């Protein structure tokens, strides 16, 4: 997927909330918590979930910084992304955690490390170097690798 804008979301770890209405969430975070989000970024490109090519997908993304904690907000817009699957199953909520593991290995090596422990890939974007691992049952959230 290709991301528009100059903000670098990978400069540190984050927790992600998936929503079907990013603008409503933006207003609520501002009105109830006094927290501003970044303007929306758009990510779009090929979508492969559990090894199956689902065509193209598009998501809107925004971020908010809460001290050392970065929150990512994703709204799926087009295509059958893993985020839509999550919303249909759980509704809006915490989707994944990116603990910002040291980036010493390649993405393929990190994926293989998790797979050797029995954890499968949910979705991968090799071009932009990120992958969701299927850790929801194991850890209570998806883990994002870079």
Q: Is residue 81 part of a domain?
A: yes
Number of domains observed in the structure of the chain:
1
In a domain, 2, yes or no: no
Checking if the pLDDT of 13 tops 70, the result is yes
More confident residue, 79 or 5: 79
E strand or H helix at 137, and its extent? helix 136-139
Residue 4 lies in a domain: no
Lowest mean pLDDT among 46-50, 53-57, 93-97: 46-50
Domain annotation covers residue 5: no
146/9 Cα distance (integer angstroms): 11
Domain-located, residue 26: yes
State the residue range of the domain holding 84: 12-145
Q: Is residue 64 part of a domain?
A: yes
**Gap between the Cα atoms of 134 and 91, Å rounded:** 18
- Whether pLDDT at 73 is above 90: yes
Residue 70 lies in a domain: yes
- Report the predicted TM-score, pTM, of the whole model to 2 decimal places: 0.78
Give the CATH number, domain containing residue 47: 3.10.180.10
Q: Does residue 3 carry a pLDDT above 80?
A: no
Local confidence band at 8 (pLDDT 50, 70, 90 cut-offs): low
For 50, residues 6+ apart whose C-beta sits below 8 A from its C-beta are 120, 121, 122, 123
pLDDT at position 5 is 45
Please indicate, yes or no, if residue 6 is contained in any of the structural domains.
no
């Amino acid at each position: 997927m290709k991301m528009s804008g100059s903000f670098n979301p990978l400069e540190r770890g984050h927790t992600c909330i998936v929503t079907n209405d990013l603008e409503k969430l933006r207003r609520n975070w501002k009105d109830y918590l006094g927290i501003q989000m970044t303007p929306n970024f758009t990510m779009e490109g090929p979508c492969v979930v559990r090894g199956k090519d689902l065509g193209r997908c598009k998501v809107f993304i925004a971020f908010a910084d809460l001290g050392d904690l970065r929150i990512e907000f994703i709204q799926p817009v087009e295509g059958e992304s893993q985020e839509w699957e999550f919303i249909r199953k759980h509704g809006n909520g915490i989707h994944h955690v990116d603990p910002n593991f040291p980036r010493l290995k390649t993405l393929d090596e990190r994926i293989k490390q998790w797979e050797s422990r029995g954890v499968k890939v949910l979705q991968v974007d090799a071009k932009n170097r990120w992958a969701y691992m299927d850790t929801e049952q194991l850890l209570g959230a998806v883990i994002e690798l870079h």
